Structure 1
Amino acid sequence: MSEAVREAPKKERPEFRNIHVTELSNYRLPLAGLVSILHRISGLSMFLLLPFVLYLLEQSLRSEISFAYYQGIVSYPLVKLIILALVWGYLHHFCAGCRHLIMDMHIGLAKEQARHSAATVLAVSLSLTAIIALKLFGVF
């Protein structure tokens, strides 16, 4: 029995090596990996900005004058872009979280289904963000 195991031809194992920083621009991440990384980035950004957002909410609710003051600040285009980035982060994190919950139920784990759900997460989050951007910048 041990001779049969010894005589079996050895398959060459693929060689995986670490990626150097200079090779990062050539590395192509799959769509599901990109959605996963964006999910982590959006979650981290929301976590880190939560105290600041809550402080601004508290200050705007203090009085009518402070509300008018912060309403004036939000009218600047740069502030609107920051708000839009936060909105995209929330929407992407929510959509990707729903995707992960569905995958936790062992639905859509095949490679093609996972790729399709990752594309759906990006499409839905970007579409909803575009609709909110139109409203935020006064097109609607």
Structure 2
Amino acid sequence: MSEAARQRPQFRNINALSDLPSYRLPPAGWVSILHRVSGALLFLSLPFLVWLFDKSVTSEIAYGQFTAAFSAGLWVFPGWLIKLVSLVLIWAYLHHLCAGVRHLYMDAAHAVSKEFGKSSAIATLAVSLLLTLVFGAKLFGAW
């Protein structure tokens, strides 16, 4: 064997300021990070989501207040901001759901390969963004 073939790779510490901006994360890495971000976002917004659910099912008057919050606003927040926050929460739920189904399938089918990881990550991103676009169009009154 030649000396070049036997040479081991050298590992070094990275500089976060100079190395990380140029690092290209694979799609599976993006899905993993966004899965964690969406889960944290859903957890932190749980009081708001419980309030939304409470207002939507308590009574007809409360439901009227619920729908008015999306059109006229609530306190100092305009209606478009409440819709935007709701759209972010819709994305968080849909992405977390799609990524969770992806992880469950990979665990159950033992489908752990680089090719499947990349293709399923791209599919997860595409499906969650497409569904968010559909629900966002409905939320903002496209139909």
Q: Please tell me the root mean square deviation across aligned C-alpha atoms, in Å.
A: 1.9
Distance (Å, rounded) in 2 between the aligned partners of 1:51 and 1:118: 30
**Shift of residue 118 of structure 1?**
0.1
Q: Which residue of 2 aligns with 1:103?
A: 106
Over 3 Å counting, the alpha-carbon distance change for 1:110 and 1:60 in structure 2 is closer
Larger Rg: 1
Following the alignment from structure 2 to structure 1, what is the Cα–Cα distance between the partners of residues 39 and 134? 21
2:49 aligned with 1:53: yes
1:136 maps to 139
Q: Indicate the larger mover: 100-109 or 88-97.
A: 100-109
Question: Which stretches in structure 1 are left out of the alignment for 5+ residues?
Answer: 1-8
Q: Of the candidates 8, 11, 21, which is equivalent to residue 25 of structure 1?
A: 21
Which residue number corresponds to residue 38 of structure 1?
34
Name the stretch that deviates more: 104-113 or 40-49.
104-113
Moved over 6 A (4+): none
1:117 to 120, 126, 129: 120
* TM-score (norm. length: structure 2): 0.82
C-alpha distance in 2 between matches for 1:125 and 1:118: 11
Amino acid in structure 1 at the alignment position of 2:100? G
- 1:67 is displaced (CA, Å) by 2.2
- Give CA-to-partner distance per residue, 1:77-117, whole Å, 9 cap, x none: 11111111101110000000011011112443111111000
- Specify the alignment match of 1:78 in structure 2: 81
Percent of matched pairs sharing the same residue: 45
Q: Which one is further off, 70-79 or 41-50?
A: 70-79
Secondary structure of 2:45's aligned partner: helix
Q: Which residue of 2 aligns with 1:5?
A: none
Q: 2:130 aligns with which of 119, 127, 130?
A: 127
> Aligned partners of 2:30 and 2:58: how far apart in 1?
41
Paired residue type of 1:109: V
* Number of matched pairs: 132
Gapped runs of 5+ residues in structure 2?
A: 72-78
Match of 2:8 in 1: 12
Partners in 2 of 1:131 and 1:85 — Cα distance? 13
Distance 1:19 1:65 in 2: 57
Provide closer, same or farther for how the CA distance between residues 52 and 128 of structure 1 changes in structure 2, counting only shifts above 3 A. same
- 1-side partners of 2:7 and 2:15: how far apart? 24
The code of the aligned residue for 1:90 comes to Y
